A and B are shown apart, each in its own frame.
Chain A
């Protein structure tokens, strides 16, 4: 070993390379693999066609989330195609001896919520899943990223994938966030600066005061959206906050194994003087609550701003116009005051307990706006239970909201939770692509606070105005 300072990313990556192929990818070992009903069936079919087995079934965990109803989960799933996919996950899991948390299982929930919740996600691991938001797990100092179905088949059959090593980027955000500014705003701000392709080819490390002071839930929100600027994944060095979160969770190491793990985890940081292929610095004070106005997550602005003019944004004018047309917005308009129809709080980006606490802090003592339909969807059964235990459900009910059952829901609208064509939804999920939340649906991505402010006023509202009122 030379003593050039290394990065957190290099440490974890290099420890998992089994073979380097000349002029080709690395053969990369995967510690943990999550599967769900949508991207796994064809991989299992592939195994069957080749006549190969699952190599390490205890390194894979299955949960049903993408295509599940968020009401009446105790009843049979109505859509025959969805039911068939769920059945396939169950059958394949049991056939190969993979843990399966299907509908109704108390451990069930969105894959990127239940992994950390159960202590499966640990620092220094490599984690993949056929879902691009696998980057969420990077919050623990793991290398985690989304893969395609062919790669799911590779991991099932060999516990490896073939990956060229990405370049390294560090994004530093220092200073203090002001009131009403959440982790979601931090990442929407970063993406708006870098654009949707700004980090393509890179793996990101987030560093600086803002992330050090952030909860694990917040760090997950940030790492989750790394893919939205094109990055393969994002990670944050583990620290005491991380260790406290993991300690005592079901699959986390215990006793002597814990001490040993802890000693290892403490080595997982970027050394002084290590270099990155690209580095960005941002000031926390510049960030305000964010909202998107277009059809990709890079099209976000501070909530008190105006929609930029075509010449102010890079890229093609016709693409920009197409996007604003779809949204029914115009250049130069103010976002505040725009009427909205739906609010969605949930997803692997903002479906954790902290997000519902934030939502409740705004709606407490207020009422849901009449013109708003709200879908409030916990990320897992564990989160659902916490919502009940902490009295958040009472606040919701009081304000005229209902709580649904866990799943991906309107994040990708594969189930019945579809925003109707032409309607506006303030959503705490991660993608505002055309039709993402239903054909013709218009998505405004934002934090749980912004979503809450919209839910009680019926229009795009700066949550700081409501928080101030509440503080008086």
Chain B
């Protein structure tokens, strides 16, 4: 078991209405030198969050105390670029458990689930509604319900279904991961390997 179970998360959210947020922004390469997975939260969005002299950039959302919560809401095509799982670790380590966007890059989406972050893909219209709701009230609560596969803006009761495959859902609900699954089928893998071309 690799991470905490995920069932229903009710929280305020942090808005980042920028498109194509790539993993080099989430965690710049120069911070990838660690050999452990903890501690990356400190450098999450480093170059958007801090000036060169390490003073916080006032206008960046993570530095604005009115926004907080365990849900990060990003613009379209979130997590493009490098396969670095460090990006997902940084988001998790900072305290987020869920990322909402209207579109995710493939590798990031897989990495997120593998570290226990739920990526919730919503329609562009619903994404706009979320941004509007947060703008109206930075403390507005979102409910992400994994068993039901729904996300709700509690203030307005607006709700949308999201997709996740049954296998991954089961994993997240129970805190299982793929390695547990694969370890259980080693003899099958061995047989396959013996007959493979390479």
**A-to-B contact residues, CB < 8 Å:** 15-16, 18-19, 21-25, 27, 29, 31-32, 38-39, 41-42, 45-46, 50, 52, 55-56, 66-67, 79, 81-82, 84-85, 88, 122, 124-125, 130-132, 146-151, 153-154, 157-162, 164, 166, 196-197, 200-201, 227, 230, 232, 264, 296, 315-316, 318-319, 322, 412-414, 418, 421, 431, 433-436, 439-440
Contacts and interface: CB of A to CB of B under 8 A. Distances in A.
A150 B103 contact: no
Contacts of A29: 189, 192-193, 196
A27 B165 CA distance: 14
A197 B76 contact: yes
A150 B166 contact: no
B136 interface: no
B143 interface: no
Contacts of A433: 22, 24-25, 81
27 contacts: A16-B196, A18-B185, A18-B189, A18-B192, A29-B189, A29-B192, A31-B196, A41-B35, A42-B35, A46-B179, A50-B179, A56-B193, A81-B33, A132-B83, A132-B107, A146-B107, A148-B85, A148-B111, A149-B86, A151-B178, A166-B106, A197-B105, A227-B107, A232-B107, A412-B24, A421-B52, A440-B52
B166 A148 contact: no
Interface of B: 2, 18-20, 22, 24-25, 28-30, 32-37, 47, 52, 75-77, 80-86, 88, 103, 105-107, 110-111, 114-115, 165-168, 177-179, 181-183, 185-186, 188-189, 192-193, 196-198
B33 A197 contact: no
A164 B165 contact: yes
Contact of A32 (B34, B166, B198): B198
A22 B36 CA distance: 34
B1 to A, nearest CB: 10
A147 B83 contact: yes
A190 to B, nearest CB: 16
A159 B82 contact: no
**Chain A contact residues: helix, strand, loop or mixed:** loop
Given A146-B107, A154-B178, A162-B181, A22 B166 contact: yes
B84 A39 contact: yes
Contacts of A56: 193
A424 to B, nearest CB: 18
Given A38-B32, A196-B77, A230 B83 contact: no
Given A56-B193, A158-B186, A162-B182, 12 more contacts: A18-B188, A18-B189, A29-B192, A32-B198, A39-B83, A66-B32, A159-B189, A164-B165, A197-B76, A316-B19, A319-B20, A322-B18
Contacts of B115: 150
B80 A55 contact: no
Contact of A435 (B47, B75, B85): B47
Contacts of A31: 196-198
B182 A197 contact: no
Nearest to A231: B106
B39 to A, nearest CB: 12
A153 B83 contact: no
Contact of B178 (A131, A150, A166, A316): A150
A150 B85 contact: yes
Given A18-B188, A56-B193, A148 B106 contact: no
A147 B84 CA distance: 8
A79 B115 CA distance: 29
B80 A158 contact: no
B78 to A, nearest CB: 10
A52 B183 contact: yes
A431 B81 contact: yes
B25 to A, nearest CB: 6
Given A131-B83, A319-B20, A151 B114 contact: yes
B106 to A, nearest CB: 6
Given A315-B19, A319-B18, A414-B32, A150 B177 contact: yes
B83 A42 contact: no
Given A125-B198, A421-B52, A230 B80 contact: yes
Given A24-B167, A132-B81, A132-B83, A161 B197 contact: no
Contacts of A41: 34-36
B47 A434 contact: yes
Contacts of B20: 196-197, 296, 319
Contacts of A436: 24, 29
Contacts of A435: 24-25, 28, 47
Interface centre among A130, A162, A440 (most CB of B within 10 A): A162
Nearest to B38: A42
Given A201-B106, A412-B29, A25 B186 contact: no
9 nearest A-B pairs in the assembled complex, by CB-CB distance: A24-B167, A23-B166, A148-B85, A81-B33, A146-B83, A148-B111, A41-B35, A150-B114, A158-B182
B22 A27 contact: no
A391 B163 CA distance: 57
Contacts of B85: 39, 42, 130, 148-150
